[in-house]
Structure 1
Amino acid sequence: MVEFQDVSVTYNSSGVDALNKVNLKINDGDFAFVVGPSGAGKSTLIKLVLKEIDATSGTVLVNGFNLKKLRRSKVPALRRTIGVVFQDFRLIPTMTVYENVAFVLRVIDAPAKYIRSRVPYVISLVGLSDKAKCYPTELSGGEQQRVALARALVNDPQLIIADEPTGNIDPALSYEIVELLKGINECGTTILMVTHEHDLVRYFGGRIININKGSIDFDEVVGGAHDEN
């Protein structure tokens, strides 16, 4: 699903290694938390997966694409296999919940009939069927993040990257968002969640990848408090 083979990224402006010979494998169906201090390399890792930047050396494989050899014209095809949930939601304020989610499918010219069936289904998955006609400003932060999650899910991606998805919502709602991601993962979608919220990670457990100073210093499956309840 995602594989890094001796991947390094050096930002020329500073000469600092953002990632240093990283080896990592995320298998189909995995749920992994990516943690680490600010500046450790978490954002660089995500940018590599999305091919927003290229590795200085090494090989990055994502969903069957070798990003080292991927032509620029093929980057949209790669990104259609990935759903992204951002910390700041990035919803279009002039569009309703339904329109925000449908927009992803309209961009890729999905058939209208498919949009009419798929969008309500995905909105129902995140528990917002009664909010489909609402605008983002009429929703709470937690509800806006659910819309963002529905938008990431609507194109049936192989991989969802959740980049600090709980950073801008009430802490109590953070657990609900992770529960939703866990449920999506149980249906077969691979989830890579970047977070600095260690309480969440301790509660849910699972695979935890810790990045520090550009290197992975911990990659293990651990039990969570959630499993003990």
Structure 2
Amino acid sequence: MIELVDVSLKYNNETTALNHINLKVDDGEFAFIVGSSGAGKSSIIKLLLRERVASAGKVFVNGYDLSKIKRRKIPEFRRSLGVVFQDFRLIPTLNVYDNIAFSLRVTNASNKYIRARVPYILELMGLTEKAKRFPHEISGGEQQRVSLGRALVNDPPLIIADEPTGNVDPELSYEIVELLKGINACGTTILMVTHEHDIVRYFGGRTISIEHGEVVFDDYIGGHDEE
């Protein structure tokens, strides 16, 4: 699903954000990327979304070679991903139903498919009763579930979650990760970027630690149910 081969990234040809990173995430995996602020996590996300191009090395995501992809193909590539952001990025003028449906409408999905798929996602996210509410009328945890539903509605093979628990209450953080784990159990590959080490220790699994733009740890750790 994801492969970085000897990848480096420099900003303004001076500041080294990533230094010879090698990383592979297979189909069906759930992996955490952890690291402090400035470690290089956001740089990896920018490469994976093709917001930045590697200064050296190769980046492959969902079968696309992002070092060679043509500009006109980038929107198609991004539609092959589900992305969940820390700041939710919901459209304030659309209600919960339409925020989730938006991802389908931009791909020209049929109205019949939208009417079948969106209620299913609403139920999955526990948002059925909030369908007609607007983002400012629901809690931060609910807004993040809308964001997650929007990422999931296209049934992408890969979801990238960038600090998805950063703007929700601590107890809701675990709920969001539980939802991601459930989605992963159904076969979707999940890459979750976080600085919250407590969450990673609680859930366990594959953990990739980034420091100063380099991978310093990549292994499986035991979670609470393995202690």
TM-score, structure 2 length as denominator?
Answer: 0.98
Distance 1:212 1:39 in 2: 8
Distance 1:169 1:40 in 2: 22
Determine if the alignment matches structure 1 residue 91 to structure 2 residue 102: no
Deviations along 1:179-202, one digit per CA (max 9) or x if unpaired, are: 000000000100010111111001
Query: 5 Å matches for 1:47-58?
Result: 47-58=46-57
The alpha-carbon deviation at position 21 of structure 1 amounts to 0.7
Query: 5 Å matches for 1:154-165?
Result: 154-165=153-164
The alpha-carbon deviation at position 20 of structure 1 amounts to 0.6
Q: CA RMSD in A?
A: 0.9
User: Which 5+ residue runs of structure 2 have no aligned equivalent?
Assistant: none
Opposite residue 148 of structure 2, the aligned amino acid is L
Match of 1:117 in 2: 116
Opposite residue 213 of structure 2, the aligned amino acid is G
Match of 2:60 in 1: 61
Opposite residue 109 of structure 1, the aligned amino acid is N
Match of 2:170 in 1: 171
Identity %: 66
Query: 5 Å matches for 1:1-229?
Result: 1-12=1-12, 15-228=14-227
The alpha-carbon deviation at position 79 of structure 1 amounts to 0.4
The alpha-carbon deviation at position 215 of structure 1 amounts to 0.5
Distance 2:66 2:162 in 1: 20
Counterpart of 1:172 in 2: which secondary structure?
helix
User: Which 5+ residue runs of structure 1 have no aligned equivalent?
Assistant: none
The alpha-carbon deviation at position 226 of structure 1 amounts to 3.7
The alpha-carbon deviation at position 227 of structure 1 amounts to 3.5
Distance 1:226 1:172 in 2: 18
Counterpart of 1:6 in 2: which secondary structure?
strand
Opposite residue 9 of structure 2, the aligned amino acid is V
Counterpart of 1:191 in 2: which secondary structure?
strand
Opposite residue 124 of structure 1, the aligned amino acid is E
Distance 1:118 1:89 in 2: 21
Q: Runs of 4 or more off by more than 3 Å in structure 1?
A: none
CA contact (8 A) 1:204 1:227 kept: no
Opposite residue 152 of structure 1, the aligned amino acid is A
Distance 2:93 2:9 in 1: 38
Counterpart of 2:108 in 1: which secondary structure?
coil
Distance 2:69 2:48 in 1: 12
TM-score, structure 1 length as denominator?
Answer: 0.97
